[in-house]
Chains A and B, each alone.
Chain A
Amino acid sequence: MGDIISIIMGEHSGEMSENIFYNIRLVRSVEVMLCGMALATSGYLYQSTFHNALVSPDTLGVSGGASIGAIIAILYFHDNIVLRQIFSFTGGILAVCFSLLLSRLIGKNRNISLLLSGIITGALANSAIMAFKYLADPTTQLAVIDYWLMGSFSLANRAKLLTVALIVIPALIIVILFRHRFKVLLLNEDEAHTLGVNVSALNTLAISLATLLTAAAVSVSGIVSWIGLLTPHIVTLIFHSPFEETLLLSMPVGGAILLLSDTLARTLTMSEIPVSIITSIAGALVLTIYFIAERGNRK
């Protein structure tokens, strides 16, 4: 701790600790926070668009698609780190496009057909992931795939941070600008139309931003579960905030939760454990508390 302060103050405290602080810890922390912000914002946008509190960023199959992309890079492109990131990002986006096309075919109520097509896309992706894992070399590749599916920031570096920041920061700024308009997503579609708002365009914008945010985060970290579903609930539980404020607060809260989880994953045991182990336990706990508190409120 003393070392960190003296580094920030510009005092010399040894090249080694300076190097660790700037090139490893700081880069990793910023990357983790950006991913946390991205996942939390994405989760709240999806939950609002689908009028469903249990929807998470991978409802439309982002994670499944991203996993397939990453696995293809791991298996067939000598696990090139840059390709892994590009493939998983593209895979995530493609999966969502597939869901959107599928929902057009299903028709009916837009939100229900989107949820259904998301579930179908997820199932297809899962089956592909299992097939790839079956084909993978169990002594080397299988472990890499499994670690990717559990999420980790241990490979954080400046290049990754830069690519994630280039997508996440502009997307978050657009979300902030449109926060008042996005409130209309909470209403049913017919009603929103009659208020003079172009609902279809807003819907598409919200889903596109949410997808970009998640795909960018997943492409650098692998699958980090629960943050997107959980953060909006924690925010409303603590702040009882209206829509716009929940959207804004989800960003720092999501960043903080993921940073805390990553720090625990890094320090809890002698070697680093996958971050999803921490976020999943926290997720289960917080959801239980949330629904018990909710029940208390209703009485």
Chain B
Amino acid sequence: MIEVRNLSFSYKNQPVFNDLSFQLNDFSMAALLGLNGEGKTTLIKLMLGLLKPDNGEILINGKDIHKISENARSKLLSYVPQEMDSALSMTVSDFICMGAMNRQNIFSGPKEKDRRQAADILLNLDISDLEHSDINRLSSGQRRMAYLARTIFQNSDILIMDEPVNSLDYLKQHRFLSTLKNYIMNNDRKVIMSIHDPSLAYQYADTFLFFKDHGLSGILSRKDHDFEEAMCRNVSFIYDGKVDVSILNNQLLINIKTNNG
């Protein structure tokens, strides 16, 4: 369970959130939707404890994440960042094993059993062939999968991802999201991710948070009354009403309004 209470945050003189509060109970995949610059990445970094709020608190499973140690936090939350350092050079196996750093002795590296577990995860994700490749030679799709593997190895309760399907082609987006969904369903984990494409989010997520004008403009769950109608209304709102949104055959369709239409 996630509870954000009276959260305020600003960069220097630029306010991002002012007194933001919401609760997420009983979700498995939550999508953060909104235009660029509305604070999705900021919220993600606040939740991960990478940024400190000016005011307010974020409770995850009852714990104030800004008051627990990095180590305790890393057992609750794992992170797939939006940008990946392209100069990073190490084997995929080494990279994945870093996910277990929070439970390794500080003077020892990955053990044989860690290597085997990493190999199993790669096998499950169907990317065993990458085990010994250098991470900086991977395509962006393969690299996201490597991140997913490391996150799985970290074994935290909640996976937080910033635009995980950004810059992937159509097939790879679906492959990534369905693999992710399979993993969280089978292992009782939760995901919070920011994502640009509302239609894609609609296909996989069960909870939706809409960000507009530096605040939360709506929060929806599939279980809500009149969910479909509210979904269309909220999506249209974050695009300033410049789009027509409808749901047909379980697909969310978005069309840009033409001037004379």
Q: Please tell me if the beta carbons of A191 and B101 are within 8 angstroms of each other in the complex.
A: no
> 8 Å CB contacts to A: which residues of B68-109?
70-75, 77-79, 81, 85, 87-91, 94, 98-99, 101-102, 104, 106-109
**Which of under 10, 10 to 19, 20 to 34, or 35 or more describes the interface residues of A?**
20 to 34
Asked if A184 and B77 make an inter-chain contact with CB atoms under 8 angstroms apart, the answer reads no
Q: Cβ of A194 and Cβ of B107 under 8 Å apart?
A: no
Whether the pair B154, A195 counts as a contact (CB closer than 8 A) is: yes
Count contacts between A and B, CB distance < 8 Å: 71
Residues of A within 8 A of B88 (CB): 186-187
A180 in contact (CB, < 8 A): yes
Contacts A190-B79, A190-B81, A193-B70: A180 and B108 contacting too (C-beta < 8 A)?
yes
Residue of A nearest to B85 (CB): A188
**Chain B: which residue is nearest A202 at the CB level?**
B106
Q: Which of B45-53, B173-181, B185-193, B252-260 contacts A (4 or more CB under 8 A)?
A: B45-53
| A162-202 interface with B by 8 A CB criterion | 177-181, 183-184, 186-188, 190-191, 193-198
Range for the number of chain B residues in contact with chain A: 20 to 34
Contact A180 B75 (CB under 8 A): no
A191 CA to B50 CA in the complex, in Å?
A: 9
Closest to A194 in B: B79
Within the complex, what minimum Cβ distance (angstroms) separates B188 from chain A?
21
Cβ of A290 < 8 Å from any Cβ of B?
no
Task: Specify which chain B residues have a CB less than 8 angstroms from the CB of A242 in the assembled complex.
Answer: 90-91, 94
Q: Does A146 contact B (CB under 8 A)?
A: no
Distance of A193 Cα from B98 Cα, bound (Å)? 12
Instruction: State whether B99 touches A195 (Cβ < 8 A).
Output: yes
- For A178, what are the chain B residues with a Cβ–Cβ distance below 8 Å? 106-107
B107 and A195 form a contact (CB under 8 A): no
Contact A193/B50 with A186-B88, A187-B88, A188-B85 known, Cβ cut-off 8 Å? yes
Complex: A191 Cα to B160 Cα, angstroms? 12
> Contacting A195 at CB < 8 Å: which of B45, B72, B74, B87?
B74
> B58: shortest Cβ distance to chain A, in Å?
15
Q: How far is the CA of A190 from the CA of B44 in the complex (A)?
A: 11
Find chain B residues with CB under 8 A from A183 CB: 90, 94, 98, 109
A51 adjacent to B87 (CB under 8 Å): yes
Partner of A244, one of B87, B109, B154: B109
Which B residues are CB-close (under 8 A) to A188? 81, 85
Q: Report B190 CB to chain A, min CB distance, Å.
A: 16
List 8 tightest A-B contacts by C-beta distance, closest first.
Answer: A196-B74, A196-B102, A180-B109, A194-B79, A196-B71, A195-B101, A190-B50, A188-B85
With A51-B87, A180-B106 already in contact, 5 other A-B pairs whose C-beta atoms are closer than 8 Å:
A194-B50, A195-B102, A196-B71, A242-B90, A242-B94
| Chain B residues near A (Cβ < 8 Å) | 45, 48-50, 70-75, 77-79, 81, 85, 87-91, 94, 98-99, 101-102, 104, 106-109, 154
Q: List 24 A-B contacts (CB under 8 A).
A: A178-B106, A180-B106, A180-B108, A181-B101, A181-B106, A183-B90, A183-B98, A183-B109, A186-B88, A187-B85, A188-B85, A190-B50, A191-B79, A191-B81, A194-B74, A194-B77, A195-B102, A195-B154, A196-B70, A196-B71, A197-B101, A197-B102, A242-B91, A244-B109
